[in-house]
Structure 1
Amino acid sequence: MRLTKTLYIVEKVQSDTPSGLDEFDRPVYEDVPTKTPFLGEVEPYSTRLAEQRYGVLVDVSNRVFCLPNEMIKIKSIIEYNGLYFEVTEFTAYDNHYEVLIKKVK
């Protein structure tokens, strides 16, 4: 399997350093988006194909093939080419994942 595209799993992680103080002089920590890269192959896909191939009824705009990755979960956010996608379904095989994603704003 050729994995030629770089995608990113976007997560919000609490910062290590405080961004300021609240009204009681306690430190305030903000959530900072972090991007974890992984390699995959992206192709256009549709809801109808997902229903026929996987037997699931989900909104889909693309399908991603990638190596097994425990960070990929339903509702995870993936960035690719400056666009954001939400994981709607994935199938875990022994050697790879097939991930169904839909474009979000």
Structure 2
Amino acid sequence: MRLTKTLYILEKILSTTPRGTDEYGRAEYENVPIYTAFQGEVEPFSNRLAETNYGLFVDCTNRLFCEPNAKIKVKSLIEYNGQEFEIIECMEYDNHSEVLMKKVT
């Protein structure tokens, strides 16, 4: 399988240092994005194709092929070409994963 595209798993974690204080003097922390790069192949996909190919009734816009990755989970975010995608479904096989994604607007 040729994996020619670079994608990023987007995780948001709470910072360890406060960015300031609120009106009561309590420390405020912010979510910091962490990007983890991985290789994959993305193609357009539709609800109808998901129903036909997988028997799933989901709302998706793209399909991703990649190597199995423990960080790819349902409801996770992926960034590709400057756009964010939410993972709708992940089917893991022996040598690869097929992931259905929906573009986040």
Question: Shift of residue 21 of structure 1?
Answer: 2.1
**Alpha-carbon distance between aligned partners in 2 of 1:21 and 1:48, rounded to the nearest angstrom:** 50
Please give the per-residue CA displacement for 1:44-85, whole angstroms capped at 9, x wherever unaligned. Answer: 111111111111000111100001111111111111001111
2:48 is equivalent to residue 48 of structure 1: yes
Report the secondary structure of 2:60's partner residue: coil
- The one-letter code sitting in structure 2 at the alignment partner of 1:77 is L
2:67 is equivalent to residue 67 of structure 1: yes
Q: How does 1:1-105 map to 2 (within 5 A)?
A: 1-105=1-105
CA RMSD of aligned residues (A): 1.1
**Alpha-carbon distance between aligned partners in 1 of 2:46 and 2:29, rounded to the nearest angstrom:** 40
Identical-pair percentage:
63
**Alpha-carbon distance between aligned partners in 2 of 1:53 and 1:39, rounded to the nearest angstrom:** 23
- After TM superposition, the score normalised by the length of structure 1 is 0.93
**Alpha-carbon distance between aligned partners in 2 of 1:93 and 1:38, rounded to the nearest angstrom:** 17
- After TM superposition, the score normalised by the length of structure 2 is 0.93
**Alpha-carbon distance between aligned partners in 2 of 1:88 and 1:36, rounded to the nearest angstrom:** 19
**Alpha-carbon distance between aligned partners in 2 of 1:60 and 1:18, rounded to the nearest angstrom:** 37
